[in-house]
Structure 1
């Protein structure tokens, strides 16, 4: 049964920069040996996340790249990145683990989706609707305060 995990932002450092939570979740996925696909809301968010993944922790290295961009050295396949960040214009296949930053529920086949819930209560309504959508699709639902 597929899973949907909702991470509710509570800590001040995640409130100030919600993408830091995405970095933490990417680091956990990497430690668990699970390649992750991050569905970014737009190209600017993808770039911001790309930058943060380099700098969010001095000792952490999370291999990542933005889908559709050529690797710097010109070689290698983009599928090799443990964390693949996909702006909406990038057409990439889903991975078993998907982190969704977009405005709609993820469609398609995957094992687990992570949803980041904003700290601002007024911004949570779309995620309540998404919870209901995943529940209707038979997902196992979990909620975590972060």
Structure 2
């Protein structure tokens, strides 16, 4: 069964996603798919290129219906509009607002929740969606203890 983790109180979702992806690479994770709407993926792609001038975070971006060319299939991070495009990766990071179809094919799903009210409300809907289907959910408060 897919492990579901909510990381909440994140002030900048894209910067946090970059740090999370860098950490996954350093730990040797075999692959991460990031699913989000097209505009968010475009901003994340740009942010990954400029996140740290001393590091390169290898990634590719696939639009809906695209598949990577054979020479790029081993790229560890895939930015995808549809979770099914990244199905062979064990980890899925979700930056969308609605519950994600197809998350069940991943070993782990990570939801990144912002600090704004709209982001929190959307996260509550996703939490209820997953919990209602019997998934145990782990939560991580990025802000830490007050």
TM-score, length basis structure 1: 0.79
- What is the count of residue pairs matched by the alignment? 136
Query: How far does residue 58 in structure 1 lie from its aligned partner after superposition?
Result: 2.7
Question: Runs of 4+ in structure 1 displaced over 6 angstroms?
Answer: none
Secondary structure, in 3 states, of the residue corresponding to 2:52? Answer: coil
In 1, distance between residues paired with 2:2 and 2:57? 25
Alignment of 1:74-93 (within 5 A): 76-77=71-72, 79-88=73-82, 92-93=85-86
Does the C-alpha gap of structure 1 residues 3 and 75 become closer, same or farther in structure 2, counting only changes over 3 Å? closer
- State which drifts further: 47-56 or 131-140: 131-140
Unaligned 5+ segments in structure 2 are none
Is the 1:5–1:113 Cα contact (8 Å) retained in structure 2? yes
| RMSD over equivalenced CA pairs, Å | 2.4
Counterpart residue number, 2:122: 126
Structure 1: tracts of 5 or more residues without a match:
none
Shift of 1:91: 6.0
